[in-house]
Amino acid sequence: MIIGVPSEIKNNENRIGMTPSGVKEMVKHGHKVFVQHDAGVGSGFPDSDYINAGAEILPTIKDVYDVAEMIVKVKEPIEPEYELIRKDQVLFTYFHFASDRPLTDAMLKAHAVCIAYETVRLPDRSLPLLVPMSEVAGRMAAQQAARFLEKPQGGMGKLMAGVPGVKPAKVLILGAGVVGRNAAKIASGMGADVTITDISLPTLRHVADIMPQVKTLYSSAHNIEAELPDADVVIGSVLIPGALTPHLVTRDMLKLMKPGALLVDVAIDQGGCFETSHPTTHSEPTYVLDGIVHYAVANIPGAVPMTSTLALTNATLPYAIKLADNGWKKACKEDNALLQGVNIVDGKIVFPAVAEAFGLEYSKLEL
């Protein structure tokens, strides 16, 4: 198969969909890999590393899309890429369709095969291609919270850890999945006063066992409202795979919070945990609404590409090899986890949650 690895052109996105090590494996399996010029530089991989691994370098993003049967990337295509995508071309990347109608319409129009990292799902219901970036995003959420509590960054001017004689910041984390647990680990490690909520009691018991310093709380509207007045930071980390995220904090609830408090919406890719969230970028990460600072960067791990590219591609490469070795149809027949990743095929939505998000027709995938 001919595989294309383009540069990511989303704002401040420095990750790349395949490392030189991944290229070497693909070439060993008999495939041809084309990488866009300087696509790996942000992650620490110059063109020479890809050439030495067996890839060919192409000068433009159009050249890569034109030649490739399968595109392997990190983030969803953005508008300048829409017209580059061909009928029956396989795209293997994050998509987050349910929160992006223009992207959904563009991929339907292109009649491409869209296989989304975020909905590849194992029999135990875990999401192997989302987990590594959730780990990074959760850890960075706490790191960014500490930064944007600082006065020069627009925050209230509170030190996350406090000091002897001065209380630390209070951090409320909504959702005790991979993102939430990693955010709790880092925030509590900094010395913050951390409370984490979830609707799963077994999950809360697990958190209590592994992080006894973190308080656990059953997630309900009443409990969240009761916590908001004291919270300095609220981290939203709820996920419903492939579907829109519910708004756990409404605009009316912002008036319960103290001026300068910070909302960190890690779920913004799927619509966000907070009604007042809208996607931001690493170049303009925050905005203030009703006196509350909002951080809603849609590609948080893109800020640490030397870590996150390796973490992501460690997980995605085995699946990319299956797709290349067998073709997408045979690969999905043989691997139900990959089958769960197929969202759009030949102008049809084949993932129920995406169709439901927009009230569009769902078609059962026939292989």
Which residues carry out catalysis?
Answer: 96, 269
Spatial distance between the Cα atoms of 129 and 160, rounded to a whole number of angstroms: 31
Of the candidates 92, 127, 128, the one whose C-alpha atom is nearest the C-alpha of residue 241 is: 127
Cα–chain center distance at 315? 14
Distances (CA, A) of 6 to 60, 111, 328, 332: 8, 20, 20, 24
The backbone torsions φ and ψ at residue 290, rounded to the nearest 5 degrees and listed phi first, read 55, 35
Tell me how far apart the terminal alpha carbons of the chain are, to the nearest angstrom: 19
Spatial distance between the Cα atoms of 167 and 153, rounded to a whole number of angstroms: 21
Q: How many CB atoms lie within 10 A of CB 315?
A: 17
Decide: helix, strand or coil at residue 329.
helix
Q: Can you give the three-state secondary structure of 139-170, one letter per residue? A: HHHHHHHHHHCCHHHCCCCCCCCCECCECCCE
Of the candidates 145, 137, 52, the one whose C-alpha atom is nearest the C-alpha of residue 94 is: 137
Q: In which order are the strands placed within the sheet that holds 233-236?
A: 215-218, 193-198, 170-174, 233-236, 262-265, 292-295, 286-289
Spatial distance between the Cα atoms of 214 and 55, rounded to a whole number of angstroms: 47
The backbone torsions φ and ψ at residue 255, rounded to the nearest 5 degrees and listed phi first, read -70, -15
Spatial distance between the Cα atoms of 357 and 244, rounded to a whole number of angstroms: 7
